[in-house]
Structure 1
Amino acid sequence: MRFGVNIPNYGPTASPDAMLTSVRHAEDLGLDLAMLSDHIAVTSDVAAQYPAPFYEPLTALAWLAGRTERIRLGTTVLILPYRDPLLTARVTANLDRYSAGRLVLGIGIGWAEEEFAALKIPYAERGRITDEYLAALHTLWSEDVASFEGTHTSFHNVHTAPRPLQSPRPPLWIGGNSPAAIRRAARHGDTWHPLGVTPQWLEKQGLPALRAAAEEAARPTPTVALRTPLRVTTTPIPDADRLPGEGTLPQIETDLATLATLGIAHVLLDPRYREPTRLQPPETDRTHLEAMAPLLTTHQP
């Protein structure tokens, strides 16, 4: 397995320096990936979970790319309906080149109804918009002069250079736990990116659904990148109350071994997953990650 960390780009403790320090810390620990969250309009429903200030992820990743060397950089997740696919394709292709091919693009459909209203995007259509934008992005990333005709986006004879450095494009992670998200990952993605689920759910529901969706789409089964909490405790947490990555180091070691057995390819650790940890200092995030680092080393390729 490979490991990454979700770097908070929101809240009163967020700043360019704090993000850079945390990303460099993850790079020094040998982690594979650092990712940022996405919101554009911090409406009240967004602010309840992701308070201002909120640093826009693509500009932040471009800035971080010039200040790091090895670690891959990505989004967990970019809300695809918020940006015209022409803009998304252009910015991500440029970002892939600025980072020397280190971009990982996680995408999702979004959940904040007030934010959709502020951006004048129909909330009820967000799944269909996402599917169409994904199809348009594949065209824009793969053709020198691209055309596309759809319900939500259309363009003709658009010159796309520079194309992404990675071929045919940056790795595409499709976020979400729903049946529709799993089908979307099978049709369009390289990796399915579920959030906050147990190994038991993955084994009994998520992974069988992913394999069935890939078979239906006549595509290889995507790899799996689980986003899960990072919270190291000194006393055990009852299994009924925790997710992988939470608890004592022996509990977390068992989690990692179980995920490896299930064939999970990536684990993205989120130190701000739980409500009580939402506004903890970045130093606390880094302390938890450092405590877990020896376990990660044993499971990395």
Structure 2
Amino acid sequence: MSHENAGYRRLFEPDGMTFGASFPLTGTNRSTPDVSDELHLAKHAEAVGFDALWARDVPTFWPKFGDAGQTFDTWPWLSQVAAHTDEIALGTSSVVLPLRHPIHVAKSAATVDRLSDGRLVLGVASGDRDPEYPAFDIDRDERGAAFRDRFEALRTLWTEEFPELEGEWGTLEGDLDVVPKPTTDTVPLLPTGNSRQSREWIADHGDGWLFYHLPERTLEDYLADWRERAGEKPFVIAVRVAFADDPTANPEALHLGFEAGVEWFRTYFRRLEELGLDHVIVGLVGDDPERALSVFGEEIIGGS
């Protein structure tokens, strides 16, 4: 299919479930992480078997929400990561479309896609940090419509030359083009959460669905419903992982994940794969991120 660039194929062509790691790999999400440490860990994640590196799009820091993502702006950051890695997919989780002008997103995403030889997969969302909407002069109550409008604009801007296009964000009358174009017809787009859309809309328009951590029984229901609506389009979730010192330790709940021994995690991810999950974005928690990446690579990715 025309949207299957190198990153999409890396994540979703394999028969089994694949794994990605989320920035900041150092765990520094309230201040600026050390660039050299982050890039070192990015290369290490690729070396130990991760299939993707995921960067969040957080324009502002709202202390009440708790974090500033990886701090650096998504597009130059992923360009830097692309220059320091070889084949690992690069993902966004996720670009908040109502806060972004679609021409800027189209150009920036296509640029990263080109610079990385087609490794970009674009998670997109409607957003959930309330003060950002007035900061960008966006009506929070209209963000569902704004998401759809910008989503469809991106498709047009990538697939058509000198498009004629009108939205509440502006008008193109066929005398301007947006370049570069992506390596394939369109950068793959994965709506995140519900994005204030129906499941039918997400199944029809998305190249997959990116969701948050779900209990296994709930995930099973979501996957069954998704397969009925979307066929074999991929389903992705994010899970926070903290390795206990005792490899046999039973799980304790974390926000959007677990702390447990490596043996339990090995079984847990095997169950998710059996349910038909396609990809997991792993948020590793701990004081030694390089060791955590190594353990995950050796014991979970290599041991699954």
Bucket of the pairwise TM-score, normalised by the shorter protein: 0.7 to 0.9
Cα-to-partner distance string for 1:97-119 (whole Å, 9 max, x where unaligned): 11111111111111011111111
Give the superposed CA RMSD: 2.4
Q: Is residue 266–residue 303 contact of structure 2 (8 Å, CA) maintained in 1?
A: no
Question: Matches of 1:197 and 1:185 in 2, distance apart?
Answer: 18
Unaligned runs of 5+ in 1: 215-219, 273-279
Counterpart in the other structure of 2:20:
4
> Structure 2: how far apart are the matches of 1:241 and 1:51?
19
Aligned length: 281
3-state DSSP of counterpart to 1:30? coil
Percent of counterpart pairs with the same letter?
27
CA deviation profile, 1:70-121 (whole Å, cap 9, x unmatched): 2111211111111110110011111101111111111111101111111111
When normalised by structure 2's length, the TM-score is 0.84
1:166-205 CA distance string (max 9 Å, x none): x22222222115783644431321111111112211112x
Report if aligned partners of 1:133, 1:153 keep a CA contact under 8 Å in 2: no
Match of 2:114, as an amino acid?
A: R
Partner of 2:233: 222
Please point out which of 155, 166, 178 is paired with 1:160: 178
Q: Which residue matches 1:198? A: 215
Tell me whether 1:291 sits opposite 2:295 in the alignment. yes
Partner Cα separation in structure 1 for residue 49 and residue 292 of structure 2: 15
* Deviation (angstroms), 1:285: 2.6
2:44 aligned residue (25, 45, 61): 25
Q: Does 1:253 align with 2:266?
A: yes
1:164-179 residue pairs with structure 2 within 5 A? 164-165=182-183, 167-176=184-193
Alignment partners' CA distance in 2, 1:209 and 1:113: 30
Between the aligned partners of 1:101 and 1:193, the Cα distance in structure 2 is 20
Q: Which residue of the other structure, out of 50, 61, 66, is the alignment partner of 1:49?
A: 66
Shift of 1:11: 2.5
SS in structure 1 at match of 2:276: coil
Paired residue secondary structure (1:145): coil
Give the drift of 1:287.
2.2
Q: Among residues 30, 33, 36, which one is paired with 2:55 in the alignment?
A: 36
> 2:215 and 2:252 mapped to 1: Cα distance?
10
Higher relative contact order (CA 8 A, sep 6+): 2
Query: Which digits, 9 at most, give the CA deviation of each residue in 1:142-189, with x for residues without a partner?
Result: 112212223444322231332101x22222222115783644431321
Q: Is the 8 A contact 1:179 1:209 kept in 2?
A: no
Contact kept in structure 1, 2:96 and 2:125, CA below 8 Å: yes
Counterpart check, 1:89 vs 2:106? yes
Kept after mapping to 1: 8 A contact 2:123/2:192:
yes
2:30/2:66 contact within 8 Å kept: no
User: What corresponds to 1:276 in structure 2?
Assistant: none
CA gap 1:285/1:89 in 2 versus in 1, 3 angstroms: same
Contact kept? 1:237, 1:248, Cα under 8 Å: yes
Which sits farther off after the overlay, 21-30 or 237-246? 237-246
- Is the 8 Å Cα contact of residues 81 and 130 (structure 1) preserved in structure 2? yes
Tell me what 1:66 maps to. Answer: 83
